[in-house]
Structure 1
Amino acid sequence: MRPLALQVLLLALASPAALADDMAACLARLEPQARAAGVPAEVFRANTRDLAWDPSVLEALDHQPEFRTPIWDYLAGLVDEQRVADGQARLAEHAALLAQIERTHGVDPATVVAVWGVESDYGRTFGSKPLLGSLATLSCAGRRQPFFRGELFALLRLIQAGDLRADGLVGSWAGAFGHTQFMPSTYARIAVDGDGDGRRDLVGSIPDALASTAHYLRKAGWRTGQPWGYEVVLPADSDAPVSGRTQRRPLPHWRARGLRRADGGTLPADDRNTALLLPAGRDGPAFLVFRNYDAIYSYNAAESYALAIALLADRLRGDGGLRAAWPTDDPGLSRAERRELQTLLLARGHAIGTVDGMIGRLSREAIAAEQRRLGWAVDGRAGQRILAALREDAPSPPPAD
């Protein structure tokens, strides 16, 4: 058993009293480090008193969806028609604010709103984990404890400064929070006051959150007026080209290889360095990416994440979506389709909990049971094939009285 998995198991088996003692002992050891990092003892004690272990965040540390989910599943849920429609509504609602942000920071509205949409579904889902408890757990167990200690101390300094209030502060399992999910150290370094009230509140202020997102991208190297990249078409008879975000070549190299834009447009005539991405291999969509893609990538270092932001931004500008299909005979599901699938599973008697569009353990177990019933290979994956099968075989509604 891996060391982290063993730690999670031991925490799950320990008694609540033992867990409380272990957390208190760890925090006592961290207090001198916190003081050295600029957190007064009284602030540290007041905000870490009675914190409890959360073994689930240690489990999540090894199961990040950006790295484990097929890209067609990942993008199907993040760049769906609902998120596009909601994002276009936000563009209209906050047009004046976004125009001001573009004048100040040089980042276009569609990109800023795309980050907002992917990170928190436009402020609907900040995460459910108590931030202090998550960061305390990750500071005391698991991999990367020094990193998470730095984030815990940064969060406490933000609370001390008055930017944040500790009560009810929630976020992701890893400690990202607010409308656009900043980590505490990024918040401290990058956040700006977008509404002029003297605070940098990325939880309660949409202007602060969106301005801070644009400021982050500019600091990460965003180049005003330039695209993130293009979907491209590879010549059918060419050898497999060198690909990968770090495998940069001047644009003339790709033009000479016969690459062309999938939307029929022309590639720029300059010689800037660019990279070719083949996230699902040569048989799937291909992308030629520029410096602005790297700025997006820096927000959360995963290719699938950066593509979700970039492609959602394109959709918000009115683009029709990808021209090439993903190399699968079982494409992913939108959130509406995931909710439909869960409804069909409930109708067949599977106790999966609430219909929420989140395919968790209970939904996967129910899908696996249906796959066994159908005589299919069992993997518990939610895709178009199982959705179509359950639509076709849906139980009849009870007769009306």
Structure 2
Amino acid sequence: MNMTRRTAGFGLLAFGLQGCIGNPMAGPSPAVARDTMPMVANPGWDAWVANFRPRATSSGISAATFDRAFQGAGYIPGVIERDRNQTEFSRTLEDYLQIAAGPKKVAAGRAAYARQQNTLRAVEQRYGVDAKIVAAIWGVESNFGERRGDINTVSALSTLAYDGRRGAFFEQQLVAALRILQNGDTAPANMVGSWAGAMGHTQFIPTSYQSLAVDFNGDGRRDIWSDDPTDALASAANYLAKNGWRRGGPWGMLARQGSGGTVIQPQPGGPTFRVFHNFNVIKRYNNSTNYAIGVGHLGDRIVGGPAIDGPFPPDQFGLTKVQRLDLQRRLNAAGFDAGEPDGVIGSGTKAAIEGYQRRAGLAVTGEPSVALLRALGG
């Protein structure tokens, strides 16, 4: 079955590897991370909405639904900025795994799995998708519900449709969002998510929601937005099941641990993996090899499996993970905030390097190096 949840390239990779997006429902708990972008007046957007209205109503959207959805909606310039400046560089598998399945994510995953074990077991029984994989998708997509997004979906999608770069696609998503509202699954104020319109605990775009979201708790609504993740977890499982998940089959493992399958080495010089049919099903959720390994490995770790022991080669700057961790610690000790050391050279570490280089009278590049580590005493 040819179903794609991520036609616009949503997910962990497209959002700078935050490990989550963000998105609560009405009255979200204070623990839910915020990602609000301000709306600004834009006569062009106003005119676009007026012209879009008859197209929406001709597609079966009632005037009442349309007016209710756009009441309080507006143009969000930050959405256009995000769309034009998506992360261009790709992370190595080693970096990806540190973000998607690092120690903090594993600890949070085990706690979330324990809280939702009854739901996850019931979902596994109905759809045949391993509970640990459903939990891992939840973790990668929204950090187990902590970052579901807080941007009004109608505003985000209408802004992107008006902008026109992928206008037809985003107008299709906007019509689907209006149908969701018309169906009564949620209210306009509650329909919030990422800057690109991905929604809920498991970050469904509206057309995928329409096709594959389910009402697992039987309350009459397919609610992926609220603090209760039940429907979202079941919807993710349904998505994988409809895309061919084989009950009881493995996703993969380190190549030395088994036989059969297909052997891949995503990072040159890094570990090799033996992957199976369900690995490719995970890629239907997000067509990225790193994503599928990240989900599979996080699932294994959540239920007690060991960390991948590598080995991974030095990065493009000639630094191993141990050296990158040392660099971050030394930058912090020198008064330059690189954040909590994790071995991943992100924007915080680069800013800290720039600060050090500026103070030391060096060329300000923000790039790590063995020489920089040595200058810091490493």
Q: TM-score range by the shorter chain?
A: 0.7 to 0.9
Structure 1 equivalent of residue 266 of structure 2? 279
Match of 2:26 in 1: none
The 5 A counterparts of 1:265-304 are 265=258, 267-268=259-260, 274-281=261-268, 283-304=269-290
Aligned pairs, number: 333
Separation of aligned partners in 1, 2:135 and 2:272? 24
Give TM-score scaled by structure 2 length: 0.76
Tell me the CA shift for residue 388 of structure 1.
7.5
Structure 1 position 24, deviation (Å): 0.5
- The answer for unaligned runs of 5 or more in structure 2 is 1-38
Which of 229, 237, 241 is equivalent to 1:218? Answer: 241
Deviations 1:250-292 (A, max 9, x none): xxxxxxxxxxxx33x4x14xxxxx54432222x1122232221
- The alignment yields a C-alpha RMSD, in angstroms, of 3.6
How far apart are residue 392 of structure 1 and its match? 6.6
Pairing 1:179–2:165 present: no
Structure 1 or 2, whichever has the larger Rg, is 1
CA distance in 2, matches of 1:180, 1:292: 18
Residues 1:91 and 2:80 aligned together: no
Alignment of 1:1-400 (within 5 A): 19-65=41-87, 68-204=90-226, 205-232=228-255, 262-263=256-257, 265=258, 267-268=259-260, 274-281=261-268, 283-328=269-314, 329-330=318-319, 348=335, 364-371=350-357, 373=359, 380=366
After superposition, what is the alpha-carbon deviation per residue over 1:140-198, rounded to whole angstroms, capped at 9, x for unaligned?
11532111111111111111211112114321121111111111111111111111211
Determine the C-alpha separation between the residues in 2 that align with 1:387 and 1:55. Answer: 38
Q: Which amino acid aligns with 2:176?
A: A
Deviation at 1:67, TM superposition (A): 6.0
SS of corresponding position for 2:274: strand
Q: 1:344 to 1:48 in 2, by over 3 A?
A: farther
Residue 206 to residue 391, structure 1, CA distance change in 2 (3 Å): farther
What's the % identity of the aligned pairs?
A: 36
Tell me how far 1:90 sits from its aligned partner.
2.2
Deviation at 1:345, TM superposition (A): 5.5
The DSSP-based 3-state class of the residue aligned with 2:292 is helix
Q: Give the partner amino acid of 1:58.
A: I
Distance between the aligned counterparts of 1:198 and 1:332, measured in 2?
Answer: 49
**Is the Cα–Cα contact under 8 Å of residues 330 and 376 in structure 2 kept in the other structure?**
no
Question: C-alpha separation between the residues in 2 aligned to 1:382 and 1:134?
Answer: 36
- Paired AA for residue 22 in structure 1: G
| Cα contact 2:336–2:353 (8 A) shared by 1 | no
TM-score, scaled to structure 1: 0.72
Structure with more relative contact order (C-alpha pairs < 8 Å, separation 6 or more) = 2
Tell me how far apart the structure 2 counterparts of residues 168 and 392 of structure 1 sit (CA, whole Å). 52
Q: 1:119 deviation in Å?
A: 0.7
Change (3 A) 1:196 1:95: same
